[in-house]
Amino acid sequence: QQPVQSPQAVILREGEDAVINCSSSKALYSVHWYRQKHGEAPVFLMILLKGGEQKGHEKISASFNEKKQQSSLYLTASQLSYSGTYFCGTQGYGGATNKLIFGTGTLLAVQP
Amino acid sequence: NAGVTQTPKFRVLKTGQSMTLLCAQDMNHEYMYWYRQDPGMGLRLIHYSVGEGTTAKGEVPDGYNVSRLKKQNFLLGLESAAPSQTSVYFCATPGLPYGYTFGSGTRLTVV
């Protein structure tokens, strides 16, 4: 079952903050976050692992609550370049497949 | 350059026709995945492979077949295309050091 993302869409002015949530009904080993620009492929932002470890390559932060099977992505002081659709991808336990189940996405529009 | 290459980038099929989408990766990874993306539904896993000669079903496998004859290639086949298979198809493989690396996608329209 796909994880549920909220909100579905958000409009911001430059400099404002946003939080995107991802909730799963299954126990999670890790959560990935991706951003997709219109007409392009998704691009990896960050991975959050069981135990609280975070690994990413952009100045965007996130949290992972293993007990609640939830993750949140924090976008602070948003820039125009943050616009796009954000997806969480969840990895459960069982089998060494690394397969991800993605949420339905959150459309973020940052306006000048 | 390391990455994932998908061909073709665009295709229009008539209902009932068949086609094969090719995904090639030069990252030497064992795992490869096929996803489809539809408006409002995010990315849904069709099939995946954990190594040469292996394939497994994902969330939405019906109407598709796959083959992994070589480690670097993962093929997605549509034997008899239906309008419901109109979608954007993405191939992916685990990247370095983390996350997935996606191909640029194939935009398929079935009329």
What tens digit of pLDDT does each residue of A47-103 get?
998 767 676 656 688 989 888 999 999 998 999 999 999 999 999 887 667 899 999
Q: Smallest Cα–Cα separation from B101: which of B7, B20, B1?
A: B1
Q: Which pLDDT does position A57 carry in this prediction?
A: 52
- A9: tokens are 């869409």
Q: Smallest Cα–Cα separation from B101: which of B22, B15, B2, B10?
A: B2
Please give the Cα distance from B40 to A50 (Å, whole number): 29
Q: Which of B4, B29, B43, B88 is the best residue to mutate to test the A interface, defined by the most A CB atoms within 10 Å of its own CB? A: B43
Cβ-based contacts of B100 with chain A (< 8 Å): 32, 34, 42, 44, 89, 100
- B71: tokens are 């480690």
Q: Which pLDDT does position A48 carry in this prediction?
A: 92
* A54 at B interface, C-beta within 8 A: no
Contact B35 A102 (CB under 8 A): yes
Q: Which pLDDT does position B3 carry in this prediction?
A: 93
Q: Which pLDDT does position A56 carry in this prediction?
A: 65
Q: Give the model's confidence band at A9: pLDDT under 50 very low, under 70 low, under 90 confident, else very high.
A: very high
Which residues 55-74 in chain A show a CB within 8 A of chain B?
55-56
HEC sequence for A18-81: EEEEEECCCCEEEEEEEEECCCCCCEEEEEEECCCCEEECCCCEEEEECCCCEEEEEECCCCHH
Please give the Cα distance from B25 to A19 (Å, whole number): 34
Contact B95 A100 (CB under 8 A): no
Number of inter-chain CB pairs under 8 A, A vs B: 62
With beta carbons less than 8 A apart as the criterion, state whether A90 and A31 touch: yes
Contact A99 B58 (CB under 8 A): yes
The partner residues of B107 in beta bridges, in order of sequence, read B10, B88
Contact B97 A55 (CB under 8 A): yes
Q: Which of A86, A98, A106, A107 is the best residue to mutate to test the B interface, defined by the most B CB atoms within 10 Å of its own CB? A: A98
Contact B42 A99 (CB under 8 A): no
Q: Which pLDDT does position A1 carry in this prediction?
A: 80
Contact A32 B100 (CB under 8 A): yes
With beta carbons less than 8 A apart as the criterion, state whether B86 and B108 touch: yes
Question: DSSP secondary-structure letter at B85?
Answer: G
A13 CB burial (10 A radius; 0-12, 13-18, 19+): exposed
With beta carbons less than 8 A apart as the criterion, state whether B1 and B95 touch: no
With beta carbons less than 8 A apart as the criterion, state whether A13 and A22 touch: no
Distance from CA of A101 to the nearest CA of B (A): 7
Instruction: Please report, in tens digits, the pLDDT of each residue of chain B (111 residues total).
Output: 569 999 999 999 999 999 999 999 999 999 999 999 999 889 999 999 999 999 999 999 999 999 999 999 999 999 999 999 999 999 999 987 789 999 999 999 999
Please give the Cα distance from A97 to A67 (Å, whole number): 23
Distance from CA of B81 to the nearest CA of A (A): 23
